[in-house]
Structure 1
Amino acid sequence: MTIRTILVSFDGSDAGSATLDAALMLGRQFAVHVDVLHVRPDSLAQVPAIGDGMSGGMAERISRKEARKSSDRAEEARLLFDQACTRLEVPQVDDATVPEGPSVSWIERVGRRHAVTIRLGRVHDLIVVGPPSDPRDLSHSLTVRALFETGRPVLMVPGQPPATIGRRIAVAWNGSAECARALGGASNFFTAADEVVILTAHSDRTPVSVAPELQTYLEHHKVKVETRVFAELGKKLLSGHQLLDACREAGADLLVMGAYREGALRKMVLGSATREVLATADVPLLMGH
């Protein structure tokens, strides 16, 4: 799918600012619209249940205090947003406007950040997120929930993003449906790239023939492509560290890959390679599931 709209959730933190900058850079690079979402928590939801020593008056005071804190955070985040738009020269428009060229809108909602981001992410072409805040608990991160619960491609930007994203792209390819979904979300990136490198690890599960098949497909789209078989695995599973090492050796500033879950019930248990890449990547990841 061609990218026309990008969503990024911004909380005003330093880590969030790096993600915001990346989203605005992509909006300008592809001449598309970016929605910047700030979610205020519901102040009533921050109040303990009345009873057990909590009176109605106490609950109201707590609610007002939380509402003021939320308003202050929103104002600080909006100021940082305005500064980023000016610095990166992306014009602001009303969120009901559909302009030509790059643009950005500020959106505020009240609720749970993860839930609101997932709902709005389903009506955007690309979701830009930062790395998981706690690599030890990936399953509850916004990064992973956006990836597995929106049905949309997700771009994860590391805390120190490169100066460019997508000039030289590495594609981790094993012919799976997950890889194909990531591929579909990268169409804008492919057309703007100087070169694409297909990375394939030969194993009992993945024949080397999958790489030239993808090369032919991309060449039909006028993309300059090379292929590399970077590992001979046999019966072994590919590790995330092997994949990231191959990406660095290719000199890529973007890795396109599928994301996987394990287990018969397909619960939020990440595949080992997916988990390692999400926890340690120092290059932007465009992932699909």
Structure 2
Amino acid sequence: MKEHVMACIDGSGYATAVCDYAAWASQRLEAPLTFLHVIDNHAPPEAGNLSGNIGLGSREHLLEELASLDERRAKLSREQGRVMLEAACQRAVDDGVDEPHSRQRNGELVETLHDLEGETRLLVMGKRGESAHRASEHLGSNLERVVRAVHRPILMVPETFRAPQRVMVAFDGSRTTRKGIEMIAASPLFAGLTCHVVTVGADIADIQAQLDWAIDTLNDAGIKAHKAIRAGDVEATLRDYQREQAIDLLIMGAYGHSRIRHLLVGSTTTAMLRSADVPLLLLR
């Protein structure tokens, strides 16, 4: 089974950027592209006991009206989704993708993505969905739940597309971040890009040796790499470096349930997810 770049689209302001970043990734990875729209059919509101003062007959009529309304809403959601999927596929074709695919599913988004995990090489999502709060540092609840449930690389994108040229990976020399460097070196997604490997901490010999290993690993893979050691608060220092160097793609690691739980409760990665104005790739 061939693995796809799987792009989640909905009616949010992120849908266009999701299309463009997914098309970019699909072409660089030489992987097929599939757009996914999930219709979350919420349970209908409870009718309650309406047979009191308004009478049993009126209650039965109201239940019929509610059922009819639910049916019309479901039909409208399917049609809206179909139109969005057609537009996404056409945009991907305009971006140079050959034969993009589309899928429409009924159900819950996280469960659907978990079911499709075996077919997914890279998952592309907007920072927030159409029903999420618009505050700039608010993460959509679906994104947090997807990060917990899906064990595939996840690309979270902002509202506007810019083809990445300079990427940054936060590196501390641990086994986890070394694995991340090896994944970056092995992936065609980063071929020809410039990679900044940044450590926040003390400039000591051991850290320099770890950074040299990271730079050599990336250079051997044909990726132009730079190293930097900065002192200060981790989140603020990484964010400042990103802006100074015009970084247009952040890369961070997320491995295992305990790390994911920590990632989603006040860690540096969560803070970067909330404040990022460029795409952030979570490696799994």
Mark yes or no: TM-score above 0.5. Answer: yes
* CA-to-aligned-CA distance 1:215-236 (integer Å, 9 cap, x gap): 122122222212111x224xxx
Q: Are the aligned partners of 1:168 and 1:196 in contact in 2 as well (CA < 8 Å)? A: yes
Mean alpha-carbon deviation: is it higher for 58-67 or for 70-79? 58-67
Q: Which letter maps to 2:171?
A: W
Larger CA deviation: 279-288 vs 268-277: 268-277
Q: In 1, Cα distance between the equivalents of 2:72 and 2:182?
A: 43
Alignment match, 2:77? 73
CA contact (8 A) 1:173 1:179 kept: yes
In our comparison, the structure showing a higher alpha carbon Rg is: 2
Does the 8 Å CA contact 2:167/2:195 hold for their aligned counterparts? yes
1:122 and 1:151 in contact (8 A); partners too: no
Report the CA distance between 1:178 and its aligned residue: 4.4
1:117 paired residue among 113, 126, 139: 113
Q: 2:123 aligns with which of 103, 122, 127?
A: 127
Select the residue among 44, 68, 93 that pairs with 1:47: 44
Once residues 149 and 156 of structure 2 are traced to their aligned partners in structure 1, the CA distance between those partners, rounded to angstroms, is 15
- 2:161 corresponds in structure 1 to 161
How far is the alpha carbon of 1:159 from its aligned partner? 1.4
Segment of structure 1 superposing worse, 252-261 or 17-26:
252-261
Q: Deviations over 1:30-76 (max 9, x none)?
A: 3321121111223xx42234643386764454243233223323322
Give 5+ residue unaligned stretches, structure 2. Answer: 52-58
For residues 161-181 of structure 1, the C-alpha deviation after alignment (integer angstroms, 9 at most, x for no partner) is 32x13x222121113454356
Partner of 2:147: 147
Q: Does 1:287 align with 2:282?
A: yes
* Contact residue 166 and residue 193 of structure 2 kept, 8 A: yes
User: Which residue is 1:272 aligned to?
Assistant: 267
Checking the alignment, whether the CA contact within 8 Å between 1:154 and 1:288 is kept in structure 2 is: yes
- Which residue matches 2:168? 170
The normalised TM-score by structure 1 is: 0.77
TM-score by length of 2: 0.78
Work out the number of aligned pairs and report it.
268
The answer as to whether partners of 2:249 and 2:280 remain within 8 angstroms in 1 is yes
* SS of residue matched to 2:160: coil
Q: 1:245 corresponds to which residue?
A: 240
* Contact kept in structure 1, 2:148 and 2:257, CA below 8 Å: no
- Are 1:220 and 2:215 counterparts? no
Name the CA shift for 1:123/1:181 in 2 (closer, same or farther; >3 Å).
Answer: farther
Question: How far does the alpha carbon of each residue in 1:257-283 deviate from its partner, in whole angstroms, 9 at most, with x for none?
Answer: 124899899467434322221111111
Name the SS for the 2:272 alignment partner: helix
Task: Extract unaligned runs of 5+ from structure 1.
Answer: 93-100
Tell whether the 8 Å contact from 1:172 to 1:199 is kept in structure 2 after alignment.
yes
